[in-house]
A = this chain, B = another copy of it.
Amino acid sequence: MSYTYEYPRPALTVDCVVFGLDEDDLKVLLVQRAGEPFRGSWALPGGFVDMQETTDDAALRELEEETGVRDVYLEQLYTFSAVNRDPRERVVSVAYYALVKLSEHAVRAATDASDAAWFSVEEATNLAFDHDEIVATARERLRGKVRYQPIGFELLPEKFTLTQLQRLYEIVLDTELDKRNFRKKILAMDLLRSLDEVEKGVAHRAARLYRFDQRRYRQLVKRGFNFEL
């Protein structure tokens, strides 16, 4: 079977920068390339866009196929179209970034990628194609966005401590934050539901657990509230 057009067309792909959060590191999910070009190199999960799916659909599908990851926060990042970004032929790629709860996403290597693994963003370098650039763009976007929208919670488990939350912002924004001021501010927003539960298995005083109250957030937004940290 083949398809013929009057004018040449670039191939269209999607690539996903999947972020996860460790105790003290921002991580990216990469797959090792099984075929040429860049065989053996690490690359972003991604692939071709089918005719009957949007690029959003394609990103979710490829993510699941290649890494087993699903149910993630996904957002379009940028479209990369440098003429020689793929050595084989002209390929334009719509890049996405995703935020996942690392603890709940043990990665299983799956079909078309020979292997999938988490890398610290700092170490995720020398990737295939222009994927270094895509990762850099995604980091910038995440840094910019996390301060104005409560998307950071997507990186934490459902129940988390305030220290974990603070750590998240410190890692993503690459700054130190004052404990008391941070707590004052975030609690004042009235977006967190304090649970009657504390963390387990720590060798010191256990911290109280909180949950992000999505419903409350939407209410507040309607009334003109702007998340800002």
Chain A contacts to B: CB under 8 angstroms: 1-12, 48-49, 51-56, 76, 78-79, 81-83, 90, 92, 94
The residue from B51, B54, B81 contacting A94, defined by CB atoms under 8 A apart: B81
Q: With A12-B12, A52-B83, A55-B92 known to touch, is A2 a contact of B5 (CB < 8 Å)?
A: yes
Tell me the complex Cα distance, A90–B53, Å: 10
Given contacts A8-B51, A10-B51, 17 further A-B contacts (CB under 8 A): A2-B4, A2-B5, A2-B6, A3-B4, A3-B6, A3-B8, A3-B9, A4-B5, A5-B5, A5-B9, A9-B11, A49-B92, A55-B79, A56-B81, A76-B79, A81-B94, A92-B94
Shortest Cβ distance from residue A61 to the other chain B in the assembled complex, whole angstroms: 13
Shortest Cβ distance from residue A53 to the other chain B in the assembled complex, whole angstroms: 7
Tell me the complex Cα distance, A94–B12, Å: 12
Tell me the complex Cα distance, A4–B7, Å: 9
Shortest Cβ distance from residue A59 to the other chain B in the assembled complex, whole angstroms: 10
Tell me the complex Cα distance, A44–B4, Å: 28
The residue from B4, B52, B81, B92 contacting A4, defined by CB atoms under 8 A apart: B4
Show 23 A/B contacts (Cβ-Cβ < 8 Å), sorted by A.
Answer: A2-B4, A2-B6, A3-B7, A3-B8, A4-B4, A4-B5, A5-B5, A5-B9, A8-B51, A9-B10, A10-B12, A12-B12, A49-B81, A51-B83, A51-B90, A52-B83, A53-B83, A54-B81, A54-B83, A55-B92, A76-B78, A76-B79, A92-B94
